[in-house]
Amino acid sequence: MHADTTQSRKAAAVAAFAGLDREPGVPKPDPILVVDKVVRRFGGLTAVDVDHVEVQRGSITALIGPNGAGKTTFFNQLTGFDSADEGSWTFNGKQLKGMPAHRVARAGMVRTFQLTKALSKLTVMENMRLGAQNQLGENFFRALIPGSWRRQEDEITERAEELLERFKLAAKRDDFAGSLSGGQRKLLEMARALMVGPELVMLDEPMAGVNPALTQSLLGHVKDLREEGMTVLFVEHDMDMVRDISDWVIVMAQGAVIAEGPPDTIMSDPRVVDAYLGAHHDAPMSAEEFEEQLQEAEAELESEIEEKA
Ligand SMILES: Nc1ncnc2c1ncn2[C@@H]1O[C@H](COP(=O)(O)OP(=O)(O)OP(=O)(O)O)[C@@H](O)[C@H]1O
């Protein structure tokens, strides 16, 4: 990828958000995904209650929020791994509600999954091939045409090999996925999702368990997806990553979208600070805020010591 293309993709993403209201549900200039009134209840608990949200095509959008905010449940609904009780959503203008996961993937929207125990016992290559099969579903008619199944198999292997090369996992091709490091697992999760050539890639905590030495390389891979014209929506607790790579941030709390905005200002939005503090979760503090907190805590400690003395 040439530097000027890289610049223009990033610049286009930034320009698309310039001047937008920082309100939940704000319309985007060219949304690839539009969600309306999606609700998911578990018994008496309303895990997701999203009134309206849009994801801008060609951008990297972060979905953040305290533990239990409903981010994973929302991801599962949009990608057909769980059903919504109410609401609808369109991807490229096409209604997706009720569509099973493999058809959602075929339509161009995929989500990554953290490597499960069962997948850890398969090789890297088997994981890649399975990724394609699961996502594509079975095509019985094609399977009946002599030779076409074989051809499809060869195409899958070829694509898997290209992706493993790109993600620097080619040497690990025949190793068990469970033997990979945290960062390599994340690369495999991303590579698997790309097996179906998606337009929108939804990453589930791409930084979880990654050694700091690999952070930059992983961030680079995520940025590359945008440079290739894909849209990225990711759930992440690592605020450094959110600041570093996202063009726009959507914040969920108690199932609803409570704030949206660019990464440099969203962390100081009082609604966001309240949501994190209310949930007793690590607040996304700036260095200055952290310093302030530290000084307050030290002052409190000193006064306690003085009182006791
Ligand atoms: N299958 C389920 N059955 C019952 N309750 C569920 C189920 N899945 C999720 N929940 C509940 O729904 C709420 C939202 O959970 P969810 O995992 O979507 O939040 P999250 O924002 O992804 O949290 P985290 O950041 O900790 O992963 C939580 O209160 C959770 O306990």
CATH code of the domain in which 83 resides: 3.40.50.300
- Establish if 298 belongs to a structural domain: no
Alpha carbon nearest to ligand 1 atom 11, residue: 47
Question: Are 172 and 246 found together in one domain?
Answer: no
- pLDDT score recorded for residue 135: 47
- Establish if 115 belongs to a structural domain: no
218 alpha carbon – ligand 1 mean position (Å): 26
- Mind giving me the DSSP string for 219-286? HHHHHHHHHTT-EEEEE-S-HHHHHHH-SEEEEEETTEEEEEE-HHHHTT-HHHHHHHHHTT------
State which H helix or E strand residue 200 sits in: strand 200-204
47 pocket-lining for ligand 1 (C-beta < 6 Å): yes
Question: Are 26 and 158 found together in one domain?
Answer: no
70 pocket-lining for ligand 1 (C-beta < 6 Å): yes
46 pocket-lining for ligand 1 (C-beta < 6 Å): no
| Domain end position, chosen among 169, 191, 213 | 191
277: number of Cβ within 10 Å: 12
74 alpha carbon – ligand 1 mean position (Å): 9
Give the CA angle between residues 26, 88, 94 to the nearest 5°: 90
- pLDDT score recorded for residue 3: 47
Question: Are 172 and 99 found together in one domain?
Answer: no
Question: Are 206 and 178 found together in one domain?
Answer: no
- Establish if 209 belongs to a structural domain: yes
224 alpha carbon – ligand 1 mean position (Å): 30
Type of residue found at 65? G
Ligand 1 atom, smallest distance to 70 CA: 18
Q: Give the DSSP letter of residue 52.
A: E
306: number of Cβ within 10 Å: 8
Instruction: Sort residue 108 into left (φ over 0), alpha (ψ -120 to 50) or beta.
Output: left
Alpha carbon distance, N-terminus to C-terminus of the chain: 66
User: Across-strand partners of 111?
Assistant: 202
Question: Are 212 and 275 found together in one domain?
Answer: yes
Question: Are 206 and 100 found together in one domain?
Answer: yes
Alpha carbon nearest to ligand 1 atom 5, residue: 42
77 pocket-lining for ligand 1 (C-beta < 6 Å): no
- Establish if 303 belongs to a structural domain: no
254 pocket-lining for ligand 1 (C-beta < 6 Å): no
- pLDDT score recorded for residue 215: 87
- Establish if 295 belongs to a structural domain: no
Provide the H-helix boundaries in the chain: 3-17, 71-78, 101-107, 117-120, 124-136, 140-144, 148-166, 182-193, 212-227, 239-245, 263-266, 270-278, 287-308
Question: Are 171 and 215 found together in one domain?
Answer: no
Domain housing 141: 122-191
- Establish if 309 belongs to a structural domain: no
Domain count of the chain? Answer: 2
Candidates 68, 84, 85; CA nearest to 76 is 84
Ligand 1 atom, smallest distance to 66 CA: 25
| Domain end position, chosen among 191, 215, 230 | 191
- Establish if 42 belongs to a structural domain: yes
Question: Consecutive sets of 10 residues in the chain, 309 residues long: mean pLDDT of each?
Answer: 61 90 94 97 95 97 95 94 91 93 90 80 90 55 58 84 95 94 91 92 90 87 94 92 94 96 89 78 64 75 64
| Domain end position, chosen among 153, 173, 191 | 191
State which H helix or E strand residue 173 sits in: none
Question: Are 94 and 15 found together in one domain?
Answer: yes
Question: Are 216 and 97 found together in one domain?
Answer: yes
How many residues would you count in the chain? 309
Question: Are 16 and 59 found together in one domain?
Answer: yes
Question: Are 242 and 170 found together in one domain?
Answer: no
Question: Are 89 and 7 found together in one domain?
Answer: yes
- pLDDT score recorded for residue 96: 93
Q: In angstroms, rounded to a whole number, what is the distance separating the alpha carbons of residues 73 and 263?
A: 23
- Establish if 291 belongs to a structural domain: no
66 pocket-lining for ligand 1 (C-beta < 6 Å): no
- pLDDT score recorded for residue 137: 47
